[in-house]
Amino acid sequence: MRLRTLLIALGALLALGVIAAVAFVATFDANRYKPELVDLVREGTGRALSIDGELSLALLPRFGLSVGPARLSGPDGRGEFAQFDSARIGVAFWPLLSRRVVIDRVMLDGLKLEGVRRRDGTTNLDDLLRAGGAAKDARPASAEHPGGAAGPPDAAGAAAAAVTIAGLQLRNATIGWRDEAAGTEWRLLQADLETGRLASGKPGSARLSGRLIGKRPLVDVAIELSTGYTVDFATRATRLSGFDLKARGRASAAPALDARLRGNAEADP
């Protein structure tokens, strides 16, 4: 009898919790945080964020935030750097109970991103890279050990190393790169990307497909890529393992290109 009563009480508490969660999601107005997000991006990067779509909170199938169309300007608020049709950021529920935020999955539909290298050698990414490294560069000299040895990891590096994302998914993305000095232009169209876990120093895997178009040299190929990876977020050191790239189409030196590249690679900037 006591066990039955306990089970009924637990069931009632669980039902109340579900009702409370549904009521919270139904009444929560995420759009009131739009101005704060816009101000945060402006203060951190100097760029203008425009959120044209609605912000909404979802409980099922994953707890997270959905965003309609949005755009990010170029440096100093000029031009357009990136935009997407919709995005969803999933958040793991149980860590929230212990006041920890763990990003479960990030999904972007219709991403368009334009990278440019100007004739003077600068790019429209430089300000973002400087913003990410500002905290690291501002570390006081007292953080160094006597004799020139490096001290504890800086705050920026520690923050980067703490980021964990269960996975990233891009659908129908367009990513462009234009070098004004060299006169070259590359564009990856209809790109679909799916990654495994993104965590500093932890191995993951990724798959990418799309159509790569280039000018000077002429390239028009369909690509399929799969690889394992390990990335140090603080230093950007990257290791690719089991790299497997297939390319079919045409190029200036190969009118009927059908190639495959396999291997491993490391880069440490």
pLDDT at position 41, please? 87
Q: Which residues of the chain have pLDDT under 50?
A: 24, 135-153
pLDDT at position 144, please? 45
pLDDT at position 7, please? 57
Instruction: Give percent above pLDDT 70 in the chain.
Output: 71
Contact 70, 83 (CB under 8 A): yes
CB contact set of 183 (below 8 Å; sequence gap of 6+): 215, 216
pLDDT at position 253, please? 82
pLDDT at position 100, please? 61
Q: How far, in Å, CA of 96 to CA of 42, rounded?
A: 28
Residue with structure tokens 């066990």? 3
pLDDT at position 211, please? 97
Taking the CB of residue 189, how many other CB atoms lie within 10 A of it? Answer: 14
